[in-house]
Structure 1
């Protein structure tokens, strides 16, 4: 796919804080694609179809962050099986006949779980805080890591319906816990292989004390860092991995799909540092 004057971008709202330009531009330069560009474009879910359709041929791909991941999946002419399975796409790639949607968020979450050493955990239970767009790819990564049952912490079962459907399709057993520190979270966290937080730091903070006994925490948030939850788990002796690991590893697949070349991991990791 590599060619002269190609362009890519991240679509989302808000998007000004995104570190994706640093990752992608570092990759393109390391690969010798000195005339490739990568920018941030403010874009809502409703705006995404018209915006992408109106881009000229130099645009080879888009990273998609919230709130456009479902819109990207629905817009695409072709979708990978895994994107369909989780109902979310963070990647759009120009292909013959239109656009292909993929979900490299699964790769990012899988890398974070591997860094936590989840394969060595005695338990096959996990706790996932939140039932929004990030939770579904996290569930796919958990299933791939050998987790068999998941407690989903959500405001209500109704709000968790889409995520519960994804979990069921993945063969995971699930239960729903109230978004309340007195809902049995402390015991579930203490006996889980891992707790995964998918909600903003401020939203998770009231649960920090209840979740502090988790042996492992993957917090998808990376700024500000550490989050109150990460500090609580680390302070109690747990192992913590933050969202930069997921960010880096989901970008690897995007770079490879955009360029057709092997992503330069070291150069991209250095860009985050």
Structure 2
């Protein structure tokens, strides 16, 4: 018998999740399974969850629902609880006790898995010998990291970077007055970031081994321009921290996948760094959702096929 699943958010028409999950269902031979995109606001989420029944296997959540959903669930898995964000809801048989009622709703976070796996792909593409300890295996004790942005995705980035050995990243933010939630999440994780204004990123972040930009499209354009200027200065013989000495040697994961490449991704690639597109993070977090919702190993290559040439690292 088929099951239902969907991605919820507002707006949602741009989402690639339906194409990814449907490709997985087809490759796995799951006849009768369906996956839809449903526009749901934060205010409408409780009513939507209350209408779920046992025909549902799970939900994918995007903005603005990843935090709104927390008090509506019966259980929240430890990683999602620590991060403070749920992007996956598993619908399980039984009588739920949460605010929404209906079946048992379990919250999980696959964004962390998606970020870790995407960065690991970039590390495999990173030229060896640029720094002591470089190479695809292991996590050097001195590996450095930076995060651009302090929204819900930034907390998942901190957890992912911690798994890769970076527990003291620099977080560049547009407003120091809006980092309270991220600071609390970092404390729960045992991560100790340094917070700095986004304007400072152009002078510093190029030297990092791992960089994740969680900023929306065009929000990092000034940082990209600063990196380009720093590289030009380096070429002219002027020392610059942003240029990373001999140029960016690290991996940039830009979570924006449309439009791609962004100005930041293009500037990083021109300067010599490795770029991983946001669609790789999307792919791997969706693959983990497929595994959790179906109980089957996700067909990653079949799912990647729907993303096309944008999946290629630069």
- Do residues 7 (structure 1) and 4 (structure 2) align? yes
- Do residues 192 (structure 1) and 203 (structure 2) align? no
Aligned to 1:209: 225
Q: Hey, what's the Cα distance between the residues in 2 that align with 1:206 and 1:240?
A: 18
In our comparison, the structure showing a higher alpha carbon Rg is 2
SS in 1 for 2:80: helix
The question of whether the paired residues in 1 share the 8 Å contact of 2:169 and 2:194 is answered with yes
Q: In the alignment, which of 304, 307, 313 is matched to residue 269 of structure 1? A: 304
- Do residues 153 (structure 1) and 172 (structure 2) align? yes
The question of whether the paired residues in 1 share the 8 Å contact of 2:116 and 2:160 is answered with yes
SS in 1 for 2:256: coil
Q: Hey, what's the Cα distance between the residues in 2 that align with 1:263 and 1:116?
A: 21
**Aligned pairs for 1:170-185 within 5 A:** 170-180=189-199, 183=200, 185=201
SS in 1 for 2:150: coil
Aligned to 1:140: 159
So what's the TM-score if we normalise by structure 2? 0.81
CA shift, 1:211, in A, is: 4.2
Aligned to 2:97: none
Q: Hey, what's the Cα distance between the residues in 1 that align with 2:179 and 2:299?
A: 37
What do the CA deviations read for 1:168-217 (whole angstroms, capped 9, x no partner)? 2222222211121xx2x244313211221001121111111334544321
Aligned to 2:281: 246
The question of whether the paired residues in 1 share the 8 Å contact of 2:140 and 2:165 is answered with no
Change (3 A) 1:24 1:204: same
Aligned to 2:83: 86
So what's the TM-score if we normalise by structure 1? 0.92
Aligned to 2:72: 75
What do the CA deviations read for 1:15-52 (whole angstroms, capped 9, x no partner)? 00101011111111111112111000001122112102
The question of whether the paired residues in 2 share the 8 Å contact of 1:77 and 1:100 is answered with yes
The question of whether the paired residues in 2 share the 8 Å contact of 1:121 and 1:193 is answered with no
Q: Hey, what's the Cα distance between the residues in 1 that align with 2:147 and 2:213?
A: 6
SS in 2 for 1:9: strand
Aligned to 1:258: 293
**Aligned pairs for 1:51-70 within 5 A:** 51-70=48-67
What do the CA deviations read for 1:107-159 (whole angstroms, capped 9, x no partner)? 10001111121756674321111000111111100000000211111123321
Aligned to 1:101: 107
Aligned residue pair count: 267
The question of whether the paired residues in 2 share the 8 Å contact of 1:8 and 1:59 is answered with yes
Q: Which runs of 5+ in 2 are unaligned?
A: 95-103, 124-135, 229-242, 309-314
Q: Hey, what's the Cα distance between the residues in 2 that align with 1:130 and 1:150?
A: 12
Q: Hey, what's the Cα distance between the residues in 1 that align with 2:9 and 2:179?
A: 23
**Aligned pairs for 1:112-151 within 5 A:** 112-117=118-123, 119=138, 123-151=142-170
RMSD: 1.7
The question of whether the paired residues in 2 share the 8 Å contact of 1:73 and 1:83 is answered with no
The question of whether the paired residues in 2 share the 8 Å contact of 1:151 and 1:175 is answered with yes
